[in-house]
Amino acid sequence: MSRDLQLKERWERLMEKLSEQFAPGDTLELDAIIYLVGVQELGQIHKTFKKDEKLNLMHIAICRLLEPYGYYEFDFFDEDGWPHYTIKEELPPLKAGEQSVLMKEALVGYFMEKEYID
């Protein structure tokens, strides 16, 4: 099976499973799944977040998701328990479609690592 086809199948399986768990009857978009990763990484799953905190959660998620690719490195947790990352390498310029594929690949890898999907 080609790598692209495998990614597509895993992505669809991930979206279905997460959508069923967190938004029955709806399909979660890429940004919503990134947000869920941020909440998971912060570990404060029952907290209501303000708008700026939601943006920070998405930043945490992106850092965590791109860490295995060598773009970010975990640095420390602050006094409020928020993780902080250091940029190791700048992301190359990517077109919108390339960004989407990279994030889907990173999300699939993350949820496979967490044994949420196989």
Q: Locate 5 and state its tokens.
A: 């086809």
In order along its 118 residues, the chain shows pLDDT tens digits of 677 899 999 999 999 999 999 999 999 999 999 999 999 999 988 889 999 999 999 999 999 999 999 999 999 999 999 999 999 999 999 998 999 999 999 999 999 999 999 8
**Rounded CA gap, 47 and 105, in Å?**
28
Does the global pTM surpass 0.85?
yes
| Per-residue model confidence (pLDDT) at position 1 | 60
Measured CA distances, 30 to 18, 38, 91, 117 (Å)? 11, 13, 19, 16
What single DSSP character describes residue 49?
-
Q: In angstroms, how far is CA 36 from the centroid of its own chain?
A: 7
Amino acid (1-letter code) at residue 60: I
Q: To which H or E segment does residue 15 belong?
A: helix 3-22
Q: What is the pLDDT of residue 101?
A: 94
